[in-house]
Chain A
Amino acid sequence: MKTTDIIRRAGRNLRQAKVRTLLTALAISVGAFTITLALAAGTGGKEYTDSLIENNGDARSLSVFAKNASTGEDSGPKKYGASEASQGLLGKKDVDRIKKTMGVESVTPMYSISATYVSGPSHTKYDANLTIKADQTHIPLAAGSLKNNQPRPGHVIVSDSYIEALGFTSTKEAIDKTIKLRIDKPQLYPGQPATGKNMKFTIEAVDKKSDRVLQYSKGIRVSAADGKAIYDYQNISGKDQYYGVTVRVKPNADPATVQAAIKKLDYEVFSLQDVQQVLFTFVNVVMGGAAGFGALAILASIFGIINTQYISVLERTQQIGLMKALGARRRDIGRLFRYEAAWVGFLGGIIGTGLALLVGLLNPAIADALNLEKGTDLLIFKPLYSIVLIIALVLVAVIAGYFPSRKAAKLDPIEALRTE
């Protein structure tokens, strides 16, 4: 018999036992549903993690800090004078040492700077949280645009919450307008008259809060060059010290190798890859667990298929006998029953995947419940996964249908036709 004819007959036979077919398929669909959702959640989780990483730092950046004597792995305090900086801080010597490490492109100190106030067209003075944007981490913008995610010298990025207070009507309107920053030298004793200067900056971009940025601080961000100038102005101790440096890894170097090399120099080094690794492991464990349950459900449904098909063979001995009498080969009969099982598997796969896709419609509700940014999809379905899953289910069903189909193929036509 031709394969197409057998497939059509198999489909027709199943339609004649609709309820049974549907129930068996539903058993499989439970597994398909679980696995599809697990894969979708895994894909969505990974993409979300990726976007988290992208919004919180780039993979080529390493954060280097002084090893804290109390938390450091090596025992014993540091020798005095090994670093020019005070305990827990880094200095120029550290920068030079780190710069010499293979694969390091640049080392930018995390200068600590401050502004007394900020004012705009409204002439009202506001507290200003002044930071330096020296890394190339992506930041979500409300208006304006940036090159390399950094402001140009003489320019600043301002948080959107400042815009109205400073006297702008909209974030768009604020672009290319100037604001004034008051920079004062630190007071050496209480009551010392403030000495400082006013600096004018052009707003290059307006940034905004996003749930993808793990630690967002509202404020004014200046370029590395301006930051250095302000630091030098405010630094009255005479020596450079900062709580950490940002290391940028050369494009052709492996961040992990560089990280290990700097660690050897006795610093604490953190990279995004550490975080990414932890998050990915977590996502993978969750996904694997759910997919495992799905696989168990499919395993259980195999017995359902075997059982259904055995009953089907018993019910249809007469049909099998007739087919054999009419010259159908054992192979044809076996294939008929295997294809029926395949149909059941296919149906189960379609139902399961379809239901999972319906759950995917709840994406906005899920994002809402988890307080994620609008448009975040935690369930991402890849058509390839679904196709592979359905094919796999069809194969599993065919394997499950093997034993019943063999029984059918072996039936003695004379005995089968005697049954009435």
Chain B
Amino acid sequence: MIEVNEVIKTYGKKKNLFTALDDVSFRIPDGQITAIVGKSGSGKSTLMHVMSGLDHASSGEVVVNGESLSKMKQRNIDRFRAHQMSFIFQSFFVQGNETCYDNVSLPLEIANVPRSRRQKMIKDALRAVELEDKIRSKAKDLSGGQKQRLAIARAIVGSPKILFADEPTGNLDSVTGEKIEKLLFDYARRNKATLIVVTHDSDLAGKCDREIHMKDGKLVKDAMKKPAKKTGVRK
């Protein structure tokens, strides 16, 4: 359960004061696939940063599984992110000069997973995104879609309970994009993980269980879909 309670986030001071998030509150139960929709500058990215502990709310609080991120020490937030969360970004952020294996290994190293256990986890994650044959390839030699699949492998290797995807299909063509969506949704459903997709793509948002619309830092629409309609996701 992620609770966002009356979160306000401002930048700058006095005349230059800019309110990125203006009194936003909602709750996301475990296992829900939620889209945060909005144009650029609507505050959707800031909302994701605050929810993941990368950024601090100016006021209000974010409570994840009963623990308030704003009250946690940085060290514990880091540990929390390493063990419970993961990210997927629009521009992949895979390390081109490293092999796929080393790319996927990074979060496990950060989470202090013993080396003996890593290999199997990494292989499983790469198999899940159908990149097991690229295990020794350098990430820079992959296509855009493959890079994003690699990023997904990196995100899911530690079996996180919460997955943030920031415009995951923004840099991809529609066919590749759909493949990526399927991978993400499948992971979330199979592992009952909470998936939060930040996007301005209404098609992608439409495939999620719930759409939270942001505009000028305010929550303007929170629409839940009937679970029956989920079938539209599957092909």
Q: Which chain A positions have C-beta within 8 A of B93?
A: 318-319, 321-322, 417
Which of B82-90, B119-127, B175-183, B195-203 participates in binding chain A? B82-90
A414→B82 contact, CB < 8 A: no
Q: Say yes or no for B107: interface residue by CB 8 A criterion.
A: yes
Majority SS at the chain A contact face: helix
7 closest pairs, A vs B, by CB?
A: A327-B82, A327-B81, A16-B97, A5-B109, A328-B110, A322-B93, A326-B107
Q: Which residue of A lies closest to B155 (CB)?
A: A326
Residue B3 at the A interface, CB < 8 A?
no
Q: Chain B nearest CB: distance from A79 CB in Å?
A: 91
Q: Does A325 contact B (CB under 8 A)?
A: yes
- B155 vs chain A, min Cβ distance (A): 9
A positions within 8 Å CB-CB of B:
1-2, 4-5, 9, 12, 16, 318-319, 321-330, 332, 413-414, 417, 420
**Neighbouring A residues of B59 by C-beta, 8 Å:** none
Besides A322-B106, A324-B78, A327-B79, 7 other CB < 8 A contacts?
A16-B97, A326-B107, A326-B110, A328-B82, A330-B74, A414-B55, A417-B89
Query: In the docked arrangement, what's the CA distance between A327 and B54, Å?
Result: 9
* B98 x A326 contact (CB < 8 A): no
**Bound form: Cα–Cα A332–B78 in Å:** 11
Do B54 and A325 touch (CB < 8 A)? yes
Contact A329 B75 (CB under 8 A): yes
B187 at the interface (CB under 8 A from A): no
Contact B107 A9 (CB under 8 A): no
Residues of chain A within 8 A of B87, CB atoms compared: 325-326
Q: How far in angstroms is the closest Cβ of chain B from A200?
A: 85
Across the two chains, which residue of chain A brings its CB closest to B82?
A: A327
Given the complex, which residues of A lie within 8 Å of B109, measured CB to CB? Answer: 1-2, 5, 9
What is the distance, in angstroms, from A7's C-beta to the closest C-beta of chain B? 11
B91 on the A face (CB < 8 A): yes
User: Of B55, B91, B112, which one neighbours A1 at CB under 8 angstroms?
Assistant: B112
Q: Which residue of chain A is the closest to B90 with respect to CB atoms?
A: A420
Interface residue B132 (Cβ < 8 Å from any Cβ of A): no
B112 near A319 (CB under 8 angstroms)?
no
A325 touches B81 (CB 8 A): yes
Q: A2-B112, A5-B109 are in contact. Are A327 and B91 (CB under 8 A)?
A: no
- Write out the residue numbers on chain A whose beta carbons fall within 8 Å of the beta carbon of B75: 329
Q: How far is the CA of A16 from the CA of B99 in the complex (A)?
A: 12
Q: Is the CB of B111 within 8 A of A327?
A: yes
Would you call B19 an interface residue if the criterion is a C-beta within 8 Å of the partner chain's C-beta atoms? Answer: no
Q: Which residue of B lies closest to A328 (CB)?
A: B110
Partner of A327, one of B49, B55, B83, B89: B83
Residues 21 to 78 of chain B near chain A (Cβ within 8 Å): 49, 52, 54-55, 74-75, 78
CA distance A2 to B82 in the complex (A): 14
Q: Does B216 contact A (CB under 8 A)?
A: no
27 inter-chain pairs at a CB distance below 8 angstroms, sorted by A residue, are A1-B109, A1-B110, A2-B109, A2-B112, A12-B98, A12-B102, A319-B93, A319-B95, A322-B93, A322-B95, A322-B106, A323-B106, A324-B54, A324-B78, A326-B87, A327-B78, A327-B79, A327-B107, A327-B111, A328-B78, A329-B75, A329-B78, A332-B110, A413-B54, A414-B49, A414-B55, A417-B89
Note all chain B residues with C-beta closer than 8 A to A413. 54
**Chain A residue with the shortest CB-CB distance to B118:** A5
A2 contact set on B, CB distance < 8 A: 109, 112
Residues of A within 8 A of B80 (CB): 327
B52 to chain A, nearest CB (A): 8
* CA A332 to CA B107, docked complex, whole Å: 13
| Of B54, B78, B109, B115, most A-chain CB atoms within 10 Å | B109
For A12, the chain B residues whose CB sits under 8 A away are 98, 102
Shortest C-beta distance, B168 to chain A (Å), equals 14
Nearest B residue to A321, CB-CB: B93
Nearest B-chain residue to A9, judged by Cβ: B109
Chain B hits for A322, CB < 8 A? 89, 93, 95, 106
Query: Which residues of chain B in 129-161 are interfacial with respect to chain A, using CB atoms and an 8 Å cutoff?
Result: none
- Chain B residues lying within 8 Å of A321, measured Cβ to Cβ, are 93
Q: When chains A and B are docked, how far (Å) is the Cα of A417 from the Cα of B75?
A: 20
Residue of B nearest to A318 (CB): B93
Report chain A residues within 8 Å CB of B83.
Answer: 327
Q: Tell me the minimal C-beta distance from B139 to chain A in angstroms.
A: 12
Rounded to whole angstroms, the CA-CA distance of A8 and B28 in the bound complex is 39
Q: Give complex CA distance A4, B49 in Å.
A: 31
User: How many Å lie between the Cα of A329 and that of B86 in the bound state?
Assistant: 15
The residues of A that contact B112 with a CB separation of less than 8 Å are: 1-2
In the bound assembly, the distance between CA atoms of A330 and B80 in angstroms comes to 14
Name the distance in Å between A90's Cβ and chain B's nearest Cβ.
81
Which residues does chain B contribute within 8 Å of A330, judged by CB atoms?
A: 74
A194 to B97, CA, bound (A): 98
* Cβ A323 vs Cβ B110 within 8 A: yes
Contact between B49 and A326 (Cβ–Cβ < 8 Å)?
no
Cα distance, A12 to B139, chains bound together (Å)? 14
